[in-house]
Structures are given as C-alpha cells and as structure tokens.
Structure 1
Amino acid sequence: MTEPDPDSERTELARLRAEVRDLRARAVTHPLIAHAQGIVQERYALPDSDSAFALIRRASQQRNVRMHTLAEALVTLPRPDERAGLWFPRRTRTTEPPLTFPAARATGTGSRSAVLSAVLSQTLTVLQTSMGNVQIADRARGGLRLERHTGLSDEFVDFFAHVGAVGTSCGQAAVNVAQITVPDVATDPLFTDRAREMVLAEGSVSCHSVPLTTAGGLCVGMVSGHLDHLIAPLTAAETKALDVVGAEAGRWLAWHQRTVVVDALEHLHALGRSNGRH
C-alpha cells in the first residue's frame, strides 16, 4: 500500500481552500454584478446581459474604478433622466482633499488603492502592529466589506469578508462612529463566539478600530489593527493621529465616490447611449 504524501496532501488542501474562497467571493459579488447588468441592459436596450457586462467592465477599466464599486453605485443611485445626455447634469466638482499623514504623502498617488494602503499602513504604524485591515461601508447590503488587509490569514479574510452592525468591534465602531479599543478579545462581549474564535486563532489578543468619516460625520469605512499582546491605553497623541487618519481618509473616500465614481457612471451612460437605443 502506498503511503500518502504529506506534501501532496497539503497542496491539495490549499487548492481546495482557495477554491472555496473563490466560490464564496463570487457568491457575494455575483448578485450585485448581475443586478447592475440587468439595469444597464434594460436602460439602454442592449441585446443581452453580456453586452451590459462588457459596457460596465469597459467603464470600470477606462476610469480606474473597481467593477464592484461601479456596480454598487449603479444599483444604489437614482436612474438618469431618459431625455438627458448627462446622468448628473447639475453636479459641482470639488478638488481632491489633501491627505497629510506620512504614509499617504509617501504614496505619491491619489488612487483609491494607494489611499487605502496608506490608511492601513499609517494605522498599523501608530498601533505598532503588523496585522490589520480596511473595510468599506457596503452601500448595497449595509455593514462593512473588507477591502485591504495585511498579516492576516485567508481564513480570517474569508470569515470577515462582510460584517454587520453586531458581533464584532469594527461593526460596533461603525455604529458608534467612534474609535473602539478591545483590550482583551477573549473576554470582550462585543464579539460573537465564532468571531472571537477566528480572531484568537489569528493570534490577535487585542484590537483597535478607527472609523473613516465624512465631514458630516457619516462612517464610510473602518480601519482596524490587531495585536498579538494586550494593548496599552492609547496616548492622546496616538488617538489624535488616528482621528486624523479617519477624518482625512473618510473625506477622501466621499470625494472619490461623488467625483471619480460619478465620472465613471457618466462615461458608462455615454457608452450606453451610443450602443443602445439613445
């Protein structure tokens, strides 16, 4: 009888886990994309859903906006006036808000991906840890959607891909629109039992979450750091530094949504009118 090969088994297990993660990710994003396809197909009288998908993907690529972000805007914003050449004819454009924290200045770019990476980097620097993640408010489903992470396992990322208002410290921080420190994950009642197990399994003993807020006080995202030791009380300077990250990042994300994403929607509208019945 041939002895099982441990390396082969580990490789197969890793492959199966990756396949499961991919299937779960598709299950989350597919309904949103499919909804957006249906809207575009109907709105511009396109022959099929594949034509609608192609237009969404083209606008996404040409305006450097993630397809999920563009689809989310499509299904949540009011439809354009059928008679208008522009989707948002009366909107006013504003300049890109500045980001003054060191990690943001070091990126040298105003791309959304770079900004989210800078937000995470600066937060982890202040908290002196290497584990953390950035979440964005999910406009279509509510809750928070994980978009950036470092130092975290695939299992952790998969489990916390989307969280609601209860059961996690980041969800509670979004509800409170205030920073939350969890000194001891093992005993804090904010977590559900399963969420606590997943956090502890990651080696995270304590954590801290910072809401990303607009000028009007709306939470549009969250950045969290996880520590492998009990966190010490934050100093006034550390709290202020994280307040700056949260406020500046939140205002930048709000600007990106109403400017860059809307530009992409306008481009999609023009493509649809030229390819459809208009």
Structure 2
Amino acid sequence: MTGEATVTVQPVTEQAVVLRLSGVLDADGAVVLGRELDLRLRRADERGLRLVLDMSGVRHVSSTAVHTLDVHTRHRAAGPVLVTGATPQVRRVLTTTPLPGIRLYPSLEGALATVSSVPTSRTPQPEPYQAGETPGEVFGLRAKARTSGIIGMAQGILIARYSLPAPADAFTLLRAASQQYNVPLRVVASAVVTAPPPLSEKRWFPGRRRTPPPALGLPRADPVDLRDRQQVLRAALYAVVTLGDADAAEIHLTDRVQDEALALEAHHGLDAAYRDCLALVAGPPAVCARAQAEGRPVTVADVAADPEMAGHPVGRAALAVGSRALHSVPMTTDGGDCNGVITLHRVEPGAWLHPGQGADLEGLAHDLAAWLSWYRRTVVQDALEYLHAQGSGGG
C-alpha cells in the first residue's frame, strides 16, 4: 500500500489462500485494501477457498481501514474471513467495532487448522457414481478426498511454522517423517494438526517420558513389531476373526482431527462398496458408532430386522456384503477414552458369541486401546520430532 504498507498473496493449502498485510493501514492504504479484498474474495469464492488475512506485520490500523474491512466482509458471517496474527494494539482496534464477517485467531496455524471439512453428526451417504465411471475409480476419488483436506491443513500449518516457500515443501516434510518412522502419511498429518505447537526450537516434546509398549495377547505364532501399525492391526484382525468365529471383521480407529469420527483402518472379507460406505463413521446407526457412543459392546442380531439399520445405507451395505449379524466392541482405555471399535460380521442372523468369546474380545480390545495410546505418544511423536528437526533446519 502507500509508503510502508505491502500486500502479498500465498496459497497455503488446498482450502485456503493467505493475504499477508504489513506496515501501516492508513486512509490511503484502506483504498488499496478494499481493492485487494474485492479481488481476493471473488477469486477465493470462485475456487471454493477460504480467505485468511495475516496481519502479523501490521503496525497500525486506521478507522477507515476497519470500515473498509467491515464493508467487504459483513455479509460473510456464515463463512467469515479469518484474521490472524494481529498485535494487541491492532486487535483492540478490530474488536472495538462489531465485525460480523471476520473471526480473529492469535496465530496463522490456529486459523488454518479450522479450515477443514468437518463430518456431520451422522454417517455420510455416498453419492452414486456417474455414467462412464467405474465404482473402483469413484471409491478411490472418495478416499483421496477424505484425506486431502487433513493433509492440506497440515501443509498450511507447516508453511506458517517453518516459513516454507510452497505447499510442496510442506508435503516433502510430511512424507519424510512418514517414511522415516513408517507412520501413514494421513496419521502424521493428523498429528501435526491436533498436537500442540513445538515447545522449543530443537525439540517438539522436550523431556517426554518414554515407556515400553504394552503387551498384546495376540494368538499368532509370527512375531509382531509393535512399532509397525500395519503389522499390529493385521495381527489383531486375524485374532478377532479367530476368537469371534466371524465371517468378516473390521477395525475402526478414532480420528482426532475429525471430532473423534471412526476411520476404517483394517478389514477382512468386506468388499470395496462396503468399505467406501463405512470408511468414515461420524455417528449412529452404524453399530461401531453405537458401541463408541455407549461405551460397551453392541450386537445387532439381524440387520434386516433392525429398524434403524435396515433402510439406512450402512445397513444396506452390510446386507449387500452378506452380513446379517454384527457385533461391535469399543477399544476403551483404563482412563475411559475410546480409541477405536472392533466389529465382527456373521452371514447367519442371531447373537452367536458365548460369554467366553465376548470376554476374550473385550480383553483384546482393551489391549489394542492401550497399544494405540502408546503408539500415538511414542512412534507418532518420534515422527513429529523428526519433522520438527527437518523443518527447523536442524536435521
């Protein structure tokens, strides 16, 4: 803007673009601010992006500039512009006048972390695929869409935190941490979004206490590396099918970045259409969501006769895969946190588990809950430490 003030634009995620302001926003600067807001908001709307105003470099805001900001944003209360990084003095000016079209955040990282597609309170119903598209192609696109938003949020946070020049550099950091510790890329991205900011320039979690992994009573001859997430879940799935005399099974884990929704992580005997429907479960009537909400095992003896499930997409998906009876067991820690849910399938209707089987499955679910808590505070935090060292230039 005039004299000292400047404006730069940077796309930082697949969902947001940042307009960086610096210097002094005086009366002359308000004119330029108005033009920039008009242009950037229009382009952001065309591309389906949220606009973030980074004001960390602004030293002074005039009343004219505040009025200009209000005029261009007051109609956006349902989807406000995110304003971040304002100094205490600038923040006082912005909060003196009601500005319904903006939301203030103390840091760019915090603002970017809110730019996400949050699941609704019910299980999403997949849209039918279009003519010319194969189901496999559509399922793949949906799976990518479910993870791209989380990865995009993590990229935006890393760009702001380490002053990276582009989203590709942030993705390189995520991928390096993922490969170094064999942690899925989506899990690393989710941890970046949900973990508190690094506590020092050198260490993300300085002084953290390391503990050995908890014992897992997996009835399998082959040794399992407890730092390998895929190995543990695969072995657990084998144990579930064996212990529960099941025809199919699935394991969902809670996703912290998506309001503890259940993400499908391991499966046996389930086709692609079922996995697509139950890939992310945000609430009942899915049996796994019932078990999570109630904190206890839940059995549906006959899906076809269950009034909540028979006409719902999750019930139809179970029937389509040949499952008539379902049994879900929550993975609950000693502290009462639900880290996931195990679900067993049977082709014949009826409650089939005897008390001994039920107790064994609950014991395995408890062991898996303890293991996942350990994995998150050990292996995942190791990956974050590595990422932080690389991003800070100390790697």
CA contact (8 A) 2:159 2:167 kept: yes
1:119 aligned partner? 236
Deviation digits for residues 234-276 of structure 1 (CA, Å, limit 9, x no counterpart): 2221111001110101100110000000010000000000179
Distance in 2, Cα, partners of 1:96 & 1:102: 17
Q: Hey, what's the Cα distance between the residues in 2 that align with 1:211 and 1:85?
A: 38
Shift of 1:68: 0.4
CA RMSD of aligned residues (A): 1.8
Task: Tell me which residue corresponds to 1:133.
Answer: 250
**Amino acid corresponding to residue 256 of structure 2 in structure 1:** R
Is the CA contact 2:300–2:325 (under 8 Å) kept in the aligned structure 1? yes
Q: Which residue of 1 aligns with 2:15?
A: none
Q: What displacement does 1:232 show?
A: 3.6
What is the deviation of 1:84?
3.2
- Structure 1: unaligned runs, 5 residues or longer: 1-12
Can you give the 5+ residue segments of structure 2 that lack an aligned partner in the other structure?
1-130
Which letter maps to 1:135?
Answer: H
Q: Which secondary structure does the structure 1 equivalent of 2:258 belong to?
A: coil
Contact residue 216 and residue 367 of structure 2 kept, 8 A: yes
Q: Indicate which of 195, 204, 217 corresponds to 1:87.
A: 204
Q: Are the counterparts in 2 of residues 132 and 150 from structure 1 also a CA contact under 8 Å? A: yes
Q: TM-score, normalised by structure 2?
A: 0.64
Higher mean alpha-carbon deviation, 190-199 vs 27-36, is at: 190-199
Counterpart position of 2:340: 221
Q: Which moved more, 1:227-236 or 1:71-80?
A: 227-236
Give TM-score scaled by structure 1 length: 0.89
Q: Give the 3 Å change call, closer, same or farther, for CA 21–77 of structure 1 in structure 2.
A: same
Equivalent residues of 2:241, 2:344 under 8 A apart: yes
| Aligned match of 1:7 | none
- Please give the alpha-carbon distance, in whole angstroms, between the structure 2 residues aligned to 1:247 and 1:156: 26
Contact kept in structure 2, 1:107 and 1:118, CA below 8 Å: no
Task: Name 2:159's counterpart in structure 1.
Answer: 41
Q: Deviations over 1:107-148 (max 9, x none)?
A: 432221111112211111122123111111011113100011
Q: CA deviation at 1:194?
A: 2.0
2:280 is aligned with 1:165? no
Q: Kindly indicate whether structure 1 or structure 2 has the higher relative contact order, using CA contacts under 8 Å at least 6 residues apart.
A: 1
Give the aligned length.
Answer: 262
Written as runs of structure 1 = structure 2, the 5 A alignment for 1:225-264 is: 225-264=344-383
Q: Which has the higher strand share?
A: 2
Aligned to 2:25: none
Change (3 A) 1:122 1:14: farther
Partners of 2:218 and 2:146 in 1: CA distance: 33
Mapped partners of 2:246, 2:333: distance in 1? 26
Structure in which a larger fraction of residues adopt helix: 1
